[in-house]
Structure 1
Amino acid sequence: MTKIPHILLIYTGGTIGMVKDYKTGALHTFNFDKLLKHIPEINHLNCKIQSISLKEPIDSSNMNPEKWVLIAEIIEDNYNAFDGFVILHGSDTMSYTSSAISFMFENLSKPIIFTGSQLPIGDLRTDAKENLITSIEIASAQDNGKPIITEVCLYFEYKLYRANRTTKINAEQFEAFTSPNFPPLGESGVYLKFSKQLIQKPLKNSYLKVRKKLDNNIVILKIFPGITKAVVKSILEIKGLKGVVMETFGSGNAPTEKWFVELLKEAIDKNIYIINVTQCAGGNVQMGQYETSIELKNLGIISGKDITTESALAKLMYLLGEKIPKNKFKSVFETQIRGEITED
């Protein structure tokens, strides 16, 4: 007899957990123990579901590393009792949170699926029901009694993505997310189909490790035409700064003006790590391809390759927290850890 999967639903906040008071029009959170009242279809799923809600639901705009640790600890504390986890989260920062959780869980052997919605669960035209039902189905999906998904994913509007490859692209469309440099791990249509060859597999005979030390002494520096020396200098001289995610043009290009290069060099000499990511929606950083990135390569700036800004930020916090030695940091960052970059 096949064991029925046991799924833990974790509500952190966000639109998906809201219902509208039709007298006032105001949105308020609802008790997830009453989930079946709003989505009776869940009764038809072949799994047992339990839910946990954060004491105070968080608008995703207020997400931060402390709350990432809280979510990680809820999963860690319940890891052995459940076969899969579905995290309900506001869509605005879902790519940041899910990327961070992917780095925090090493040797993951169970699914952690993030989802949310653009409209509240009680709305007539809501996308919440489909996103939630399918996420639970994905978290329950097994092959010979073992989970099909063994990584952190994000499910939204019929597509299952590797979480640390995603970015939010639309505030109004139901198709709110994309994965610009990596194909979906699965799609929901008449049938639920997985691209099993793409799914990260845990190492054999390895145990789950949850890494909870994150260092957020970092900044995102977006390069733009006309950026001034004063702006770059003020950012790179922030007290206690340890890392910079620098969003450059195209395939990793930046100004070649002497003051710009010198400021970067001074920062690197102060042991500040600088990660070069493209501000394009998709594509790869290839330093040295154009003259405007040769200087960056010569300085020893770290290539983000085809990582997203959200994932670069999460990976930087994670690696700084792990206190990677300076002489290894560049090679570790440029190496795939959780499927977040495409290696050459």
Structure 2
Amino acid sequence: MTNKKTKILLIYTGGTIGMVKDYDTGALKAFNFKKLQKNIPELNQLDCDIDNISFDAPIDSSNMNVEDWVVIAEIIESNYQRYDGFVVLHGSDTMSYTASALSFMLENLGKPVVFTGSQLPIGDLRTDAKENLITSIQIAALQENNKPVIQEVCLYFEYKLYRANRTTKINAEHFEAFASMNYPSLAESGVHLKVNREALYRGKKGKSFKVHKQMDRNVAILKIFPGIGQPLLNSVLNTPNLKALVLETYGAGNAPMEDWFKKELGGAIKNGIFVVNVTQCSGGSVLMGQYETSEHLRKLDLINGKDITTEAAIAKMMYLLGNNISPKLFKTIFETSLRGEMQ
């Protein structure tokens, strides 16, 4: 690693990591990021300059929306040339959705965008916030031959760095809140910070950085279950202005074989609605045609989500629809890995 002093921009959107406990009252109050290095002196050991910017009104991640994704993208866009890396502080509940969306919105990214947060407030006695924050900044500042080691949108939590669009929140209480079931971690923090270089994403060389801000929200997610009825499926597929559906199926992409199920899906696809088949399992991949219960979906020409997460699938749908991809090319492009989100 070189000794070049890097510049990192910290972007605070909201969430637990930005709260600190008032020990006199027990109440939580906003952390003063303007005094970041004074309050967390360990950061002074990092050979980088850290600036910060916050949402005008920080929000709980449960209130995160498409417009907020655009704000994050615009902050990175307007500061892209000034900084070597970005750390986005975000509430954990929807972090995988936001981080997945940003991976598609930031095309030809050549610098690290590291999402992190915490399960406990930064001032709590047993907080995970300090380690997550310090290591995320360290990762964002990693340089080799004056180039960033990480050049993609990722997510750091509890000693592991993941590709953002491969993550899912798996636990609401444990510090190990996220997992990447279908792709190895990009780095692990222990006594030493070990980077898994073979797993890192590298975009096409020579392509200029581009930010996409049009995300079409006319999408839906439906998780099938034993006993699902025709009225429910019909209602979802007939949602006004619906353009795409992420269908969470069983196992390797299996679904009921009733005639009404085939009829509803087939009719929707003929009417121009894109339906992508993703597994509702935590890990594994869709393999349409492996079983009889998925062969009928293959014949209906559902989009194969392969091993993509639901979070990445919905974000990718919004991104492709927002870019007005030709209906004839939509299936092919969705089934192609754009940012390392699927095999």
Q: What residue is the counterpart of 1:177 in the other structure? A: 178
Q: How does 1:67-86 map to 2 (within 5 A)?
A: 67-86=68-87
Q: Per the alignment, in what secondary structure is the counterpart of residue 253 of structure 1?
A: coil
Q: Per the alignment, in what secondary structure is the counterpart of residue 126 of structure 1?
A: coil
Q: What residue is the counterpart of 2:188 in the other structure? A: 187
Q: What's the CA shift for 1:3?
A: 3.0
Q: Per the alignment, in what secondary structure is the counterpart of residue 241 of structure 1?
A: coil
Q: What residue is the counterpart of 1:296 in the other structure? A: 297
Q: What residue is the counterpart of 2:34 in the other structure? A: 33
Q: What residue is the counterpart of 2:234 in the other structure? A: 233
Q: How does 1:189-338 map to 2 (within 5 A)?
A: 189-338=190-339
Provide the C-alpha distance between the structure 2 equivalents of 1:274 and 1:324, rounded to a whole number of angstroms: 15
Provide the C-alpha distance between the structure 2 equivalents of 1:201 and 1:291, rounded to a whole number of angstroms: 38
For 2:24, the aligned partner's letter is K
Provide the C-alpha distance between the structure 1 equivalents of 2:48 and 2:318, rounded to a whole number of angstroms: 36
Does 1:135 find its partner at 2:136? yes
Q: What's the CA shift for 1:335?
A: 0.3
Q: What's the CA shift for 1:201?
A: 1.4
For 1:117, the aligned partner's letter is S
Provide the C-alpha distance between the structure 2 equivalents of 1:341 and 1:131, rounded to a whole number of angstroms: 26
Unaligned runs of 5+ in 1: none
Q: What residue is the counterpart of 1:96 in the other structure? A: 97
Provide the C-alpha distance between the structure 1 equivalents of 2:319 and 2:59, rounded to a whole number of angstroms: 22
TM-score when scaled to structure 2?
0.98
What CA deviation, in whole Å up to 9, does each residue of 1:112-137 have, x standing for no partner?
A: 00000000000011000000000000
Task: After the TM superposition, list the runs of 4 or more consecutive aligned residues in structure 1 that deviate by more than 3 angstroms.
Answer: none
What CA deviation, in whole Å up to 9, does each residue of 1:164-216 have, x standing for no partner?
A: 00000000000000000000011001111111121111322210011111001
What CA deviation, in whole Å up to 9, does each residue of 1:7-37 have, x standing for no partner?
A: 0000000000001122332222122102123
Provide the C-alpha distance between the structure 1 equivalents of 2:104 and 2:339, rounded to a whole number of angstroms: 7
Provide the C-alpha distance between the structure 2 equivalents of 1:248 and 1:173, rounded to a whole number of angstroms: 27
Provide the C-alpha distance between the structure 1 equivalents of 2:99 and 2:26, rounded to a whole number of angstroms: 31
Provide the C-alpha distance between the structure 1 equivalents of 2:27 and 2:248, rounded to a whole number of angstroms: 38
Unaligned runs of 5+ in 2: none
For 2:174, the aligned partner's letter is Q
What CA deviation, in whole Å up to 9, does each residue of 1:47-94 have, x standing for no partner?
A: 000000111001000011110000000000000000000000000000
For 1:23, the aligned partner's letter is D
For 1:329, the aligned partner's letter is F
Q: Does the Cα contact within 8 Å between 1:38 and 1:122 map onto a contact in 2?
A: no
Name the Cα RMSD after superposition.
Answer: 0.9
Q: How does 1:12-23 map to 2 (within 5 A)?
A: 12-23=13-24
Q: How does 1:154-169 map to 2 (within 5 A)?
A: 154-169=155-170
Q: Per the alignment, in what secondary structure is the counterpart of residue 80 of structure 1?
A: coil
Provide the C-alpha distance between the structure 1 equivalents of 2:247 and 2:203, rounded to a whole number of angstroms: 31
Q: Does the Cα contact within 8 Å between 1:153 and 1:163 map onto a contact in 2?
A: yes
Q: Per the alignment, in what secondary structure is the counterpart of residue 81 of structure 2?
A: helix
What CA deviation, in whole Å up to 9, does each residue of 1:241-261 have, x standing for no partner?
A: 000000000000000000111
Q: Per the alignment, in what secondary structure is the counterpart of residue 276 of structure 1?
A: strand
For 2:81, the aligned partner's letter is N
Provide the C-alpha distance between the structure 1 equivalents of 2:198 and 2:289, rounded to a whole number of angstroms: 33
For 1:16, the aligned partner's letter is I
Q: Per the alignment, in what secondary structure is the counterpart of residue 81 of structure 1?
A: coil
Provide the C-alpha distance between the structure 1 equivalents of 2:275 and 2:151, rounded to a whole number of angstroms: 31
For 2:168, the aligned partner's letter is T
Q: Per the alignment, in what secondary structure is the counterpart of residue 87 of structure 2?
A: strand
For 1:69, the aligned partner's letter is V
Provide the C-alpha distance between the structure 1 equivalents of 2:31 and 2:57, rounded to a whole number of angstroms: 12
Q: What's the CA shift for 1:2?
A: 4.4
